[in-house]
Amino acid sequence: MTSEYFKVLESIRDMGGAEILVGGLRGVEKESLRVSPDGTIAKTRHPKALGSALTHPYITTDYSEAQLEFVTPPYANNWQVMQSLTELHQYTHKVLHQQSDNQDHLHELIWPASMPCMVTKGSDVPVAKFGSSNVGRMKHVYRLGLGYRYGRTMQTISGVHFNYSIPERFWPIYREFQTFVGKQSEDFISSQYFHILRNLRRSSWIILYLFGCSPAVCKSFNVSSDGLEEMYSSYYLPHATSLRMSNIGYKNESQSSIQVSANSLQEYITDLTAAISTPYPEYDKIGVKVDGEYRQLNSNLLQIENEYYTLVRPKRVARSGEKPSEALKRAGVQYLELRALDNSLFDPVGVNSDEMYFLELLVWYCLFYPSQPLTPDEETENSQNQLKVAREGRKPDLKLLHHGRERNLQEWGRAMCEDMQPLAKLLDQGLPEMSQPLYSRALQKQIDKIIDPEKTPSARILCEMREQKISFYHLSKNIAVAHHEYFSALHLNEKKYSRLSEIAKKSLARQSLMEKNDHESFDDYLAKYFAK
């Protein structure tokens, strides 16, 4: 533990700031495939009873028409996030069951794993549609472009995003004992979020180790074996934590050339803007508009900013028609989006409170811990560590790179968690009276995983496959059925069901109104968007 880190904790404790620390807002975005009863990706349209995927605030689609995305509002505690996710899943399971009754066939399921189900070819993956408005068409064409660039199957990989914002009332207090030159409070706040972001890049490997839940994948997933082993009609690596975050998952060669700085907001925006305006010859071969039909929005390295895949994004809620970077430039960073979480196979909503408590702890740890500007060599180290942990994180005596030197993963992980123990105790003090030590308890569970890799979810998955002598596909399908039974047994009261039904209806009406009022040609709309 550095003396600087300890002094910050001591200062906050002395001023009685524990209650302020636990007042941050958090939310979750969770992606999941809809699958047919046989476990293949659903070919049906996004159910109308779930509303418009374009305008519904809580239930939308990601890449595929069959890829649901559940979005919670921001809440002040994890219990509310879990409650919101549970209700959204209850409602969706009920809709899928009702839909099957109407069509006289077995109901669709929600796939619990990050890695997809039986996908034999990319053309089996229906690309999400968002209606005929220009906004909706742009979202659809963007996804077509992703399919041409990286393959549709790759886009069906799902994950969980944890969004977190530091409490607003914390910043003026924290600024008092920070040396910062600048007039605007949003400049200070953004600089501190980038302080966190740099440290998250350095330490994100621990998220993959602790919560990685994809050590195996169905053999139907179109990947080269790349050193993978076979077991029960599945590809796997014996010490893998997250194949989703490995070079067979989201990683791709074209984006490896993109370097987006985390050293300041201005550098981040400059680098990202360059990537969306840099032509890429391979994408030019695809064509943008062929025989009158769009294949992609443009042939640049990135079509839009969202195409850049990174483990953590600085975010600001954008206004209508505003690019993410424009929102950041206008008002600075508002929150961070942590994108490294696999869907937790054994949790019905794909995430649990202990994960969120730990991630919140990690964000605070990364704020209070020193954070020098990242060098190109350190960025390379970070990427190598992430890949190593994704593919072999549970390997005994695994060595990572730390400032150019090898460091044992278990020793490093334990040191980080031990540094976080006084922080966890401080956050526990900020909880309502009579509360359990939720942060310390969540942290201890992660320490247990570092000491014993067999307690990680990735190890548990491989253990279940071996004990039951079944494939990753069959394990995931069995869990999908169990989750459906779980949600079906939970009672969603009529008031909550009616509320979600009404939100769905209003979203459909809003999409219809957008389409009715949209008179500009799509070509002109795109030209104006990219001219900004």
Mean pLDDT over residues 301-312, rounded? 95
Mean pLDDT of 56-64: 98
Kindly tell me if the per-residue pLDDT of 399 is higher than 50.
Answer: yes
* Rounded Cα gap, residues 456 and 440, in angstroms: 18
pLDDT for 7: 87
**Across 4-11, average pLDDT:** 88
Over residues 246-258, the mean pLDDT reads 72
**Residue range 54-79: mean pLDDT, rounded:** 98
Quote the number of domains for the chain: 1
Which among 255-259, 435-439, 468-472 has the top mean pLDDT? 468-472
Residue with tokens 């839940």: 213
Q: Of 470, 457, 441, nearest to 346 (Cα)?
A: 457
Q: Are 448 and 210 in contact (CB under 8 A)?
A: no
For the ranges 162-166, 252-256, 463-467, the lowest mean pLDDT is seen at 252-256
226, 197 in Cβ contact below 8 A? no
In whole angstroms, how far apart are CA 433 and each of 436, 437, 495, 531? 9, 11, 31, 54
Q: What is the pLDDT of residue 305?
A: 96
Which of 109, 110, 141 has its CA nearest to residue 127? 141
- φ/ψ region of 480 (left if φ > 0, alpha if ψ in -120 to 50, else beta) reads alpha
Cβ-contact 236, 226 below 8 angstroms: no
> Is the per-residue pLDDT at 46 higher than 50?
yes
* C-alpha distances out from residue 203 to 218, 389, 415, 484, Å: 29, 11, 12, 35
Domain extent at residue 359? 3-531
CA distance 393 to 409: 8
Model pLDDT, residue 8 = 87
What's the mean pLDDT in 447-468? Answer: 98
Tell me, what amino acid is at 353? S
pLDDT of residue 440: 98
The whole-number pLDDT of residue 250 equals: 61
Residue with tokens 């071969």: 285
One-letter identity of residue 484: H
pLDDT, tens digit (0-9, with 9 covering 90-100), for 338-355:
999 999 999 999 999 999
pTM: 0.96
Residue 492: give its domain's CATH number: 3.30.590.20
Model confidence over 175-227: pLDDT tens digits? 887 765 555 677 999 999 999 999 999 999 999 999 999 999 998 886 766 68
Residue 104 reports pLDDT greater than 50 = no
Confidence of residue 123 (pLDDT cuts 50, 70, 90): confident
